[in-house]
């Protein structure tokens, strides 16, 4: 019974975000939208055509179908040890992550740290036990197109740096204006929540 609730509840949430036709109920936000909401992130995530990833088994199915691939960082970023997420992304999200990293490295000769990537619904449930800020219900992390970039971890260690934080946010603002991403600055988690637009 509990498993049925876990699997059915996300589908009800999707239905509330989408209209009866299965398409987004509101118009696409403008490319330079200064403050996109979490709903905008979720609508974008649903647009990739991947169902919310319930568990590791379903994640592996998407990997076999080439809908998800290993998340890799080139020069300009590192992936932190992940405890409540998996290092997999839709290919476009990984491509844009590395474009952001390349731009950041070119401007600063430094690297940022990715602290969370794709979460299964099971991961999300575990995270809520230790993090009250973790979203109830669906998150764009459940679809393989979002990641969190720390703004207090640079060059592979926890080292807050106002100058690097500003440089990173300016790059995210640029990418958002270009219609490539949405981002939200999460103060409780000291990270930028980034969703790559489809």
pLDDT at 42: 94
pLDDT digit string, tens, across residues 116-158: 999 999 888 777 666 555 556 789 999 999 999 999 999 999 9
Q: What is the pLDDT of residue 41?
A: 96
pLDDT tens digits along 27-41: 444 444 457 899 999
Residue 100 in tokens: 């952001």
The predicted structure's pLDDT at residue 137 = 73
| Per-residue confidence (pLDDT) for residue 110, from 0 to 100 | 98
Q: How far apart are CA 10 and CA 13, in angstroms?
A: 5
Does 166 score more than 80 pLDDT? yes
Would you state the structure tokens that stand for residue 22, as one six-digit string? 């299965």
Provide the pLDDT for residue 138. 87
**Mean pLDDT, the chain, whole residue set:** 85
Residue 9 CA: distances (Å) to CA of 31, 114, 128, 144, 151: 31, 29, 16, 19, 33
Q: Give tens-digit pLDDT for 50-101.
A: 999 999 999 999 999 999 999 999 999 999 999 989 999 999 999 999 999 9
How many CA atoms are closer than 13 Å to the CA of 39, on its beta-carbon side? 11
Query: What does DSSP assign to residue 18?
Result: B
**Percentage of the residues of the chain whose pLDDT score is greater than 70:** 78
Instruction: Please state whether the predicted TM-score (pTM) of the whole model is above 0.95.
Output: no
Predicted pLDDT at 130? 60
């Amino acid at each position: 019974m509990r498993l049925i609730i876990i699997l059915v509840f996300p589908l009800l949430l999707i239905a509330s975000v989408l209209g009866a036709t299965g398409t987004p109920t509101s118009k696409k936000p403008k490319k330079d939208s200064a403050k996109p909401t979490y709903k905008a992130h979720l609508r974008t995530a649903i647009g990739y055509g991947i169902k919310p990833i319930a568990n590791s088994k379903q994640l592996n199915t998407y990997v076999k179908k080439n809908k998800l691939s290993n998340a890799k960082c080139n020069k300009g970023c590192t992936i932190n040890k992940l405890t409540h997420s998996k290092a997999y992304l839709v290919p476009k999200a990984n491509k844009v992550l590395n474009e952001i990293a390349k731009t950041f490295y070119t401007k600063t000769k430094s690297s940022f740290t990715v602290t969370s990537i794709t979460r299964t619904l099971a991961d999300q449930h575990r995270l809520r036990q230790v993090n009250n800020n973790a979203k109830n219900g669906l998150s764009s992390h459940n679809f393989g197109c979002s990641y969190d970039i720390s703004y207090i971890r640079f060059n592979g260690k926890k080292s807050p740096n106002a100058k690097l934080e500003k440089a990173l946010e300016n790059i995210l603002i640029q990418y958002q204006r270009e219609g490539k991403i949405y981002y939200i600055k999460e103060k409780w988690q000291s990270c930028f929540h980034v969703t790559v637009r489809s």
